[in-house]
Amino acid sequence: MTEEPAEPVPFKPNPAGIFAWAQYEISTATLSRVSDDEEGPRIAITLHELGNPLWRSTPESQADLERRVRKAWPELDADQVRKCLAHISARVRVELMKPSQSATQEEQREALRGNWVHGWRA
């Protein structure tokens, strides 16, 4: 006597697990301050789920990030989306405390000017 195979139960992810996954992905994202422009500082966010956005301190940038979070994790409720955006903002704040790449590169050039190995270029 053979048994009929059971009907597969469709997988329904746990919303708490999805929120934990979103928080994990945000915590492992790479944020890099790129050179500032006339509109202010810019932060490159390397996070596949969000499509690698470029952060700016504009309302349009904040709205774009919210749209990307909602698209990446549509199961999240409004409060969880707010927490994800707060997590991103905290990571951006840390990056903004670092010097921009252009300032760092200028400091490196100044340091090399006094170096005898690179002094012949001056």
Q: Are strands 30-37 and 40-46 parallel, antiparallel or unpaired?
A: antiparallel
The answer as to whether 121 is a domain residue is no
**In a 10 Å sphere around its CB, with 0-12 CB exposed, 13-18 middle and 19+ buried, how is residue 26 labelled?**
buried
Question: Quick check: is 57 in a domain?
Answer: yes
Q: Is 12 part of any domain?
A: no
Which residues in 1-122 belong to E strands, given as ranges?
30-37, 40-46, 54-56
Is 15 inside a domain boundary? no
The total number of structural domains that make up the chain = 1
21 within domain boundaries: no
Give domain status of residue 37, yes or no. Answer: yes
Which residues constitute the domain of residue 40?
Answer: 29-110
Express each pLDDT in 63-109 by its tens digit.
999 999 999 999 999 999 999 999 999 999 999 998 765 666 667 76
Per-residue model confidence as pLDDT tens digits over 29-69: 999 998 888 888 999 999 999 999 999 999 999 999 999 99
